């Protein structure tokens, strides 16, 4: 049970404190700004043709919506096809179940060392902790993930896990943590150090773990997108490969992956394509000389079915995890990924985490956005993120006792009598012309009594002070003068 | 950022004789002068401007804070105020976006749905209206100056009119428009966001204010009251006495020499 | 009920509306590249070179010789190939006289010689199934003769690419070759040697897989190398 609790290692109840601390970290602010500016520019350069971008985004959206509309059937088809191919499929409703399944598979063959390709879903389940506590070492092999794991941290970005770290940090980290490693800030040397350390482990590992970018129902194919080759190592060299993914990652047809893959790499890092696109359809067949003899796929729900239950919130599941929303988010750019306290940070995290952790644990996330719309504008599958945020705000303000068709876990988590009263008062004043007129009259007459402290506003601003006359009044006076 | 994605119908919208003016609650209470300046600009262009006295607010503050029922009550009170088939000019991109894009959603399935949709279709943001319907070519009678333009996210991403303020400023002969760093980025207002998350919003507005101050502009203009109150309120808090922003309507009226 | 049944039951209980069928083929037909043979090859080469791939243009008659030159010019002491294949036999014949080079073949399952593969094999030579011009990509279809680790573990990968198999884009490659009718154990798109930008966004090659990718691009008779390279 302790593993369940480790998920709230950075409970987002502390979001505001975390954010404040991050805002005061000048080095972090600079790293993030530089990196996000770079990623935004790269993305822009990868879509030189606005028409092509617009059409491709619509295509991506339509494909993902079609796949979600058929989700239960596609999951069954995927399972059937993978089974025919010799891949074993497992289902987990909770993170605990997923971890148990994976641990059992490793334990069955007496494994003690697992190498991991990048998998956000395994971050979601806190798999490393779970395995560690049971005598299995799980080593992250994506360079960024490796660095973050070595530092005892969590990824701060879903595509660039170590984006918050400078090369000086990493030089010190390698020097401190890896035997016989001199301090060097030369990036090529640092990568070589990481490469050598990890290649030893691929060789020895009993099991390779990975995520999945697209699971194709038609052919029973697991697609993995990467630049480094560590994903290929993890899925090719050890004798057992266990892939874990969310139930929403299934696509219907092999051709579906073509536009989605193009959208993914161009939106994420501005690359026309990644170095490797790895399509795995079966374990080692008779006569083949390498590849794992056993391949498993673990399909995880963990709150996704809650989002699925509601047709509006279902759009959240269209996500292909490119990270463009965070790269373009002015909030993420200022506080970084750790502040969110969740596996998925930034705008996508704000709309997916409430389904995974409940609004009671994530209530500050839906409001942590100015609704500027930059995220929705760049989303490659056109998730209307601001609309999702407003809906979640509604659900966390909705009194817990109110009966609705698809109640969300933690409904009413942000509801307070005080705020509800404030909005009822506002409604009373602004919803009736007579009351509003009186309010305008009073506000302008009493402007001298404007309080010097106005909630959070006066932390950054001079107090808001009503004008001497409202626009209503100015117009009335002028109309009177003209008559 | 991607001008090729912005399609502004420059033609096809006939010039009306009359318009409604929806002043927005922020202008009404905090920047009424800017509202008057917008009305004067329109009147100087030979339009008959109608200001329904019963208007208050589009409902956006509650709508974006998770209180759509309260928003609907306030928005409903506006629906009967625009009976004639005239454009409804709104001097704020975000309020315009609320009326144009969110009113139809807010009233979906309600008896007022058709009315809300019809009104939404008539809503037009001020700078868009000046440029694309009136083809306003302001006569610049001011001294040479440099200004930066801040466009609200509502105008940019919901109304697709971030280029219209630029275009109007660019039509002023003696005004040089300077671009500021991260121009497309949000100023951090976001309605109740700046109250609920003052640390983050504060960092955003600090960056926006600094970027505008360092742009080489002598002042900045914007067509959104929320952004204007946010950035000016921050500049004032920091003791800035010279550099500040004003509403685009005020700026245009000053430049044309028609500001009383 | 099992986790499977619970998940599927929850999903089935949700309201669903009929989906819109996307026209993927129409998209690529409209926006896909329109190149002639030379343009496609030039684009492919430029894209691959932009990610540090070495392209060696050659013809059917001379590629073994060009391979031998490339091997000689690099710090390669041992090379893995598949002499039982036609191209492997030709390569073997061209390389076997190099006294500084040990030739190896994948004649056992990997489990029996993992250490040697990882620590004492400098390079591998494999064929390529086809190429993709738009993104600068090679498609590998590993099999019993040329297993998956050949293009992954040794630090240098020499790839033999018959340029007549170049497709304009990924969609064309997949549909013309009817991939949906049956996928192999592993199919792979490769666009350059392995790389990472995980440290302060600085690009570094040779992250985990090959540091060098050398493509022997075999041209049809009617094309000359000069047609594919700028005069300058």
C84 in A contact zone (CB under 8 Å) = no
Residue range B138-255 in CATH 3.40.309.10: no
Query: Given a contact as 3+ CB pairs under 8 Å, which chains touch C?
Result: A
Q: Are B186 and A374 an interchain contact pair (Cβ–Cβ within 8 Å)?
A: yes
- The count of CB pairs under 8 A between chains A and C is 252
Look at chain A and report how many structural domains it folds into: 2
Q: Is residue A420 part of a domain?
A: no
Q: Rounded to an integer, what distance in angstroms lies between the CA atom of residue A119 and that of residue A138?
A: 12
Q: pLDDT grade, residue B11 (50/70/90)?
A: very low
Q: How confident is the model at residue A13, as a pLDDT?
A: 56
Residues of chain A with pLDDT under 50: 1-12
CA B8-B14-B20 angle, to 5 degrees, is 95
Q: Rounded to an integer, what distance in angstroms lies between the CA atom of residue A240 and that of residue B115?
A: 63
Burial class, A421, CB count within 10 angstroms (exposed 0-12 / middle 13-18 / buried 19+): exposed
- Nearest CA distance, A68 vs chain B (angstrom): 23
Q: Are B194 and A370 an interchain contact pair (Cβ–Cβ within 8 Å)?
A: yes
Tokens of A393: 């705000």
Q: Rounded to an integer, what distance in angstroms lies between the CA atom of residue C1 and that of residue C9?
A: 10
How many Å from the N-terminal Cα to the C-terminal Cα in chain A? 78
The DSSP code sequence of B156-195 is IIIS--HHHHHHHHHT-TTEEEE--TTTTS--S-TTTHHH
* Token pair 């970027």 in the structure block, residue: B211
Q: Could you tell me how far CA A155 lies from the centroid of its own chain?
A: 11
Query: Domain boundaries in chain B?
Result: 17-132, 138-255
Q: Which domains does chain C have, with CATH numbers?
A: 35-222 (3.40.50.10420)
Q: Is residue A103 part of a domain?
A: yes
Residues of A in contact with C21 (CB under 8 A): 62, 66
All residues at 6 or more sequence positions from B73 whose CB lies less than 8 Å from its CB, including other chains = A427, A431, B59
Residues of chain C with pLDDT under 70: 231-232
Q: Is residue A469 part of a domain?
A: yes
Q: What is the pLDDT of residues C60-77, one digit of tens each?
A: 999 999 999 999 999 999
The CA-atom distances, in angstroms, between A97 and each of A77, A92, A125, A211, C4 are 22, 5, 9, 17, 12
Q: Could you tell me how far CA A380 lies from the centroid of its own chain?
A: 14
Q: Is residue A194 part of a domain?
A: yes
The CA-atom distances, in angstroms, between A400 and each of A345, A358, A366, B34 are 26, 13, 17, 43
C186 in A contact zone (CB under 8 Å) = yes
Residues of C in contact with A222 (CB under 8 A): none
What CATH number is associated with residue A288?
Answer: 3.40.50.10420
- Residue ending a domain, choose from A305, A325, A344: A305
Give me the interface pTM, i.e. the ipTM: 0.97
pLDDT over 90 at B2, yes or no: no
SS3 A251: strand
Q: Are B150 and B208 in contact (CB under 8 A)?
A: yes
Tell me which residue range forms the domain holding A453: 436-482
- Residue ending a domain, choose from A268, A287, A305: A305
- What is the average per-residue pLDDT within B108-127? 97
- Tell me which residue of C50, C73, C12 sits closest to C135, measured CA to CA: C50
- Residue ending a domain, choose from A285, A305, A325: A305
Angle between helices A50-69 and A257-269 (to 10 degrees): 120
pLDDT over 50 at B228, yes or no: yes
Q: How confident is the model at residue B159, as a pLDDT?
A: 85
Q: Rounded to an integer, what distance in angstroms lies between the CA atom of residue B228 and that of residue B244?
A: 9
Q: How confident is the model at residue A10, as a pLDDT?
A: 43
Element (H, E) at C224: none
């Amino acid at each position: 049970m302790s593993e369940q609790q480790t998920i709230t290692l950075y409970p987002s109840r502390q979001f505001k404190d975390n954010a404040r601390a991050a805002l005061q970290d000048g080095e972090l602010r600079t790293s993030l700004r530089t990196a996000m500016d770079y990623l935004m520019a790269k993305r822009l350069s990868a879509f030189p043709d606005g028409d092509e971008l617009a059409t491709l985004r619509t295509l991506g959206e339509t494909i993902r919506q079609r796949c979600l509309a058929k989700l239960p059937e596609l999951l069954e088809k995927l399972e059937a096809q993978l089974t025919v191919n010799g891949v074993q499929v497992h289902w987990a409703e909770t993170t605990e179940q997923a971890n148990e399944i994976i641990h059992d598979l490793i334990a069955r063959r007496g494994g003690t060392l697992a190498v991991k390709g990048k998998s956000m879903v395994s971050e979601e389940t806190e798999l490393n902790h779970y395995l560690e506590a049971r005598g299995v070492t799980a080593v992250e092999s994506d360079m960024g993930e490796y660095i973050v794991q070595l530092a005892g941290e969590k990824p701060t970005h879903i595509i660039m896990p170590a984006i918050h770290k400078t090369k000086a940090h990493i030089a010190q980290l390698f020097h401190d943590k890896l035997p016989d490693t001199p301090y060097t800030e030369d990036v090529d040397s640092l990568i070589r150090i990481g490469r050598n350390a990890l290649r030893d482990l691929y060789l020895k590992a009993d099991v390779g773990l990975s995520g999945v970018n697209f699971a194709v129902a038609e052919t029973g194919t697991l697609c993995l997108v990467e630049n480094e080759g560590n994903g290929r190592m993890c899925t090719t060299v050890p004798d057992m490969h266990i892939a874990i993914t969310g139930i929403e990652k299934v696509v219907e047809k092999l051709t579906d992956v073509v536009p989605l893959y193009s959208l993914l790499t161009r939106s994420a890092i501005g690359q026309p394509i990644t170095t490797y696109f790895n399509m795995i359809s079966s374990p080692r067949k008779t006569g083949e000389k390498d590849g794992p003899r056993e391949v498993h796929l673990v399909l995880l729900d963990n709150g996704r079915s809650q989002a699925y239950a509601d047709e509006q919130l279902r759009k959240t599941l269209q996500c292909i995890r490119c990270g463009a929303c965070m790269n373009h988010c002015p909030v993420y750019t200022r506080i970084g990924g750790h502040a969110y306290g969740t596996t998925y940070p930034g705008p996508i995290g704000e709309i997916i985490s409430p389904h995974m952790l409940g609004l009671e644990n994530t209530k500050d996330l839906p409001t942590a956005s100015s609704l500027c719309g930059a995220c929705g504008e760049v989303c490659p599958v056109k998730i209307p993120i601001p609309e999702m945020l407003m809906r979640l705000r509604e659900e966390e303000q909705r009194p817990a006792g109110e009966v609705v068709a698809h109640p969300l876990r933690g409904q009413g988590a942000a509801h307070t009598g005080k705020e509800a009263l404030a909005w009822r008062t506002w409604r009373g004043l602004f919803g009736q012309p007579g009351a509003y007129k009186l309010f305008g009259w009073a506000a302008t007459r009493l402007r001298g009594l404007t309080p010097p402290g106005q909630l959070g506003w006066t932390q950054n601003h001079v107090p808001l002070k009503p004008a001497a006359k409202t626009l209503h009044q100015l117009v009335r006076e002028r109309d009177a003068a003209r008559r | 950022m991607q001008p090729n994605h912005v399609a502004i119908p420059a033609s096809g919208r006939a010039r009306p004789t009359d318009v409604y003016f929806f002043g927005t609650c922020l202008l009404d209470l905090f920047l009424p002068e800017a509202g008057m300046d917008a009305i004067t600009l329109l009147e100087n262009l030979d339009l008959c401007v109608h200001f329904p006295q019963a208007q208050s607010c589009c409902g956006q503050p509650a709508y974006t804070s998770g209180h759509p029922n309260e928003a609907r009550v306030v928005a409903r009170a506006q629906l009967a105020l625009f009976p004639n088939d005239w454009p409804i000019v709104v001097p704020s991109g975000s309020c315009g976006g609320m009326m144009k894009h969110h009113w139809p959603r807010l009233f979906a399935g309600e008896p007022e749905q058709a009315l809300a949709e019809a009104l939404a279709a008539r809503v037009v943001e001020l700078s868009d209206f000046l440029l694309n319907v009136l083809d306003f070519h302001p006569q610049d009678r001011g001294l040479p100056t440099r200004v930066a333009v801040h466009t609200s996210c509502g105008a940019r991403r919901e109304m697709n009119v971030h280029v219209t303020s630029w275009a109007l400023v660019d039509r002023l002969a003696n005004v040089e428009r300077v671009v500021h760093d991260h121009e497309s980025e949000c100023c951090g207002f976001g309605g109740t966001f700046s109250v609920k998350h003052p640390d983050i919003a504060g960092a955003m507005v600090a960056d926006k204010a600094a970027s505008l101050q360092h742009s080489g502009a002598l002042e900045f203009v914007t067509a959104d009251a929320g952004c204007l109150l946010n950035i000016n309120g921050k500049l004032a808090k920091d003791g800035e006495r010279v550099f500040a922003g004003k509403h685009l309507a005020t700026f245009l009226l000053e430049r044309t020499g028609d500001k009383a | 009920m099992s986790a499977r049944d619970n998940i599927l039951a929850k999903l089935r209980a949700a309201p669903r509306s009929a989906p819109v069928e996307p026209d993927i083929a129409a998209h690529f037909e409209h926006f896909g590249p329109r190149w002639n043979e030379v343009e496609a090859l030039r684009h492919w080469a430029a894209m691959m070179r932009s990610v540090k791939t070495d392209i060696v243009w050659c013809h059917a008659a001379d590629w073994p010789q060009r391979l031998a030159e490339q091997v000689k010019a690099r710090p390669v002491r041992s090379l893995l190939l598949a002499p039982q294949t036609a191209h492997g036999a030709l390569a073997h014949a061209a390389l076997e006289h190099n006294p500084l080079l040990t030739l190896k073949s994948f004649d056992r399952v990997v489990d029996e010689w993992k250490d040697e593969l990882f620590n004492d094999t400098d390079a591998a030579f494999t064929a390529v199934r086809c190429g993709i011009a738009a993104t600068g990509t090679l498609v590998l279809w590993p099999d019993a003769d040329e297993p998956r680790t050949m293009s992954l573990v040794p630090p240098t990968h020499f790839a033999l690419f018959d340029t007549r198999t170049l497709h304009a884009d990924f969609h064309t490659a997949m549909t013309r070759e009817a991939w949906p009718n049956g996928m192999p154990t592993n199919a792979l798109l490769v666009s350059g040697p392995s790389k990472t930008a995980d440290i302060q966004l600085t690009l570094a090659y040779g992250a985990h897989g090959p540091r060098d990718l050398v493509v022997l691009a075999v041209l049809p008779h009617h094309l000359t190398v000069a047609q594919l390279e700028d005069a300058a």
